[in-house]
């Protein structure tokens, strides 16, 4: 797929909470087709300590207005600098990068997102709904502040919420929710993105129940074109770059540590 480099205009910087925000960006030309799971490499020009581009999943798209959105958590100088952007500012993106999720073999699918890892699930839920599938969306976080805009997912499927401390939804980890702990056999595919321990646990449950599972890795990706090799992941076919061969991987292709008996 062809890649583009454009200077986008910030149309909105929506601060969801003290830790999370969504940047809405207008493209100077018509947006190319963007698939669920793809990402953008962002040049953080307003930070003197951020030298390399930062990768972010593409959260949303609007082809009528030529806008896309990025969902971001403040974790360092680069993301703090992005959080200070204002309407009318410019942001340079290389996009769309990476691969996409495959379609399920049956009607029902489960989408699992932890924290900011929920970002690629919005486009996926929309596409699945448009294609006639019936997705459920399971959103997890440490507390209520980590549950990000669940209302955006409601038009596309039933939304379940879990938090470690019980401050929102069901108390416990996503793998303890009945959708995974009791009803996993109802799904023809599971898709997940979030912290590594969460994805490992979801992958283990899927494997134990013979349900196909794809995860979107959140490895460090400095270039996005496979040149820097800082995002290499071990697979059964040898080392692969997350930015070119991923970020979406079938968990059956990943090395055995992803199928280890993680605590669930």
pLDDT digits (tens, 9 = 90+) for 195-245: 999 999 999 999 999 999 999 998 778 788 788 888 898 899 999 999 999
CATH code, domain with 17: 2.40.30.10
* C-alpha triplet 61, 218, 242: angle, nearest 5°: 95
Q: Looking at the domain assignment, is residue 103 inside a domain? A: no
28 against 226, higher pLDDT: 28
Element (H, E) at 13: strand 4-15
Best CA proximity match to 241, nearest among 124, 169, 2, 249: 249
Specify the number of domains making up the chain.
2
pTM score, two decimals? 0.94
Bridge partner list, 9 = 26, 90
Q: Looking at the domain assignment, is residue 81 inside a domain? A: yes
Q: For residue 174, give its domain range.
A: 108-259
Does one domain contain both 45 and 141?
no
pLDDT for res 55:
94
Does one domain contain both 170 and 222?
yes
- The DSSP bridge pattern shows strands 39-43 and 20-26 to be unpaired
């Amino acid at each position: 797929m062809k890649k583009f480099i454009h200077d986008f205009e910030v149309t909105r910087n929506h601060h969801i909470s003290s830790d999370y925000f969504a940047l809405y960006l207008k493209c100077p030309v018509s947006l190319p087709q963007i698939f669920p799971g793809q990402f953008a490499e962002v040049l953080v020009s307003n930070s003197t300590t951020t030298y390399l581009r930062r990768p972010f999943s593409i959260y949303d798209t609007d082809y009528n207005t030529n806008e896309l959105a990025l969902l971001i958590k403040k974790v360092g100088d680069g993301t703090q600098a992005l959080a200070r952007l204002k309407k009318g500012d410019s942001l340079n993106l290389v996009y769309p990068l990476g691969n996409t999720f495959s379609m399920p073999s049956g009607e029902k699918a489960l989408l699992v997102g932890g924290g900011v890892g929920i970002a690629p699930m919005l486009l996926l839920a929309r596409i699945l709904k448009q294609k006639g599938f019936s997705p459920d969306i399971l959103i997890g976080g440490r507390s209520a502040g980590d549950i990000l805009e669940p209302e955006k997912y409601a038009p596309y499927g039933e939304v379940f919420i879990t938090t470690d401390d019980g401050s929102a939804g069901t108390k416990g980890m996503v793998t303890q929710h009945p959708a995974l702990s009791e009803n996993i056999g109802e799904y023809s595919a599971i898709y997940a993105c979030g912290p590594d321990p969460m994805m490992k646990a979801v992958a283990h449950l899927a494997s134990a129940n013979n349900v196909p599972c794809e995860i979107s890795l959140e490895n460090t990706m400095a270039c996005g074109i496979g040149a820097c090799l800082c995002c290499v992941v071990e697979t059964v076919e040898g080392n692969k770059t997350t930015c070119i061969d991923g970020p979406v991987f079938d968990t059956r292709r990943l090395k055995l540590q992803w199928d280890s008996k993680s605590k669930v």
